[in-house]
Amino acid sequence: MEKKDQKIMVAIDESQESMYALSWCITNLISDTPTNNKLVLLYVRPPSAFYTLDAAGYIFNTDVVDAMEKYSMHLANSVMERAEAICRDLNATNINMERVVGIGDAKNVICRAVKKLEADTLVMGTHGYGFFKRALLGSVSDHCAKHANCPVVIVKHP
C-alpha cells in the first residue's frame, strides 16, 4: 500500500513548550527526504477587543483598540518567524509549509482548523500546569486530545 502525503498541524504560541513541540515534530515526524507532506503552523490570536469594556465598564477608545490589534498582529508575525527560524535551524528547508492565524478561543479554533484543513495529525506542546491551575484555566491540549478529528501528539518539554 502506498503511503499518502501527510498534513501535520503544529499549534504554536509564544511559549518555549510550543516551539519545542515544533522542533520535536520536525525531528520525529517529518521525513528528511523531499515529499509533498505539508506542515501547517497554526497560531491563535485572542478575539479582537472591538467594543470591549474595561473593568470600569467604559468602551475602549478606538485608538486603544487599533493599538491592541496592531500589537496582536505583530505578535502573530513574531511567533511565526520564530517557528520558521526553528525549521531553518533544523535544516527543514524542504518542507512545504503553510502559515495559518486563527482568532478566538484557542481550543475551539484549533479543533475547527484541524477539521477545516483536514489535518492528519495535530502536534502541540503542553505547559504542564498542575491539577488546580489546569482546573481553573482549562487545558487546551486536553480539550484538543478529546475533540480534534485526528490523532493528537502532545509533546512535553523536558
Q: What integer pLDDT is reported at residue 109 of this predicted model?
A: 96
Q: What integer pLDDT is reported at residue 31 of this predicted model?
A: 63
Please name which of 104, 89, 97, 86 lies closest in space to residue 37, comparing C-alpha atoms.
97
pLDDT at 143 over 80: yes
- For range 2-16, the mean pLDDT: 86
Q: What integer pLDDT is reported at residue 58 of this predicted model?
A: 59
pLDDT at 49 over 60: no
More confident residue, 8 or 4: 8
Fold (topology level) of 6-155? Rossmann fold (3.40.50)
- For range 33-43, the mean pLDDT: 83
Q: How far apart are the first and last CA of the chain?
A: 36
Strands (E), the chain: 7-12, 38-45, 96-103, 121-126, 152-156
Q: Say what angle helices 140-147 and 106-117 make with each other, to 10 degrees.
A: 30
Q: What integer pLDDT is reported at residue 125 of this predicted model?
A: 92
Q: What integer pLDDT is reported at residue 132 of this predicted model?
A: 56
Q: What integer pLDDT is reported at residue 124 of this predicted model?
A: 95
- List pLDDT tens digits, range 87-113: 889 887 778 899 999 999 999 999 999
Q: Which residue has the cell 484541524?
A: 114
Q: What integer pLDDT is reported at residue 77 of this predicted model?
A: 92
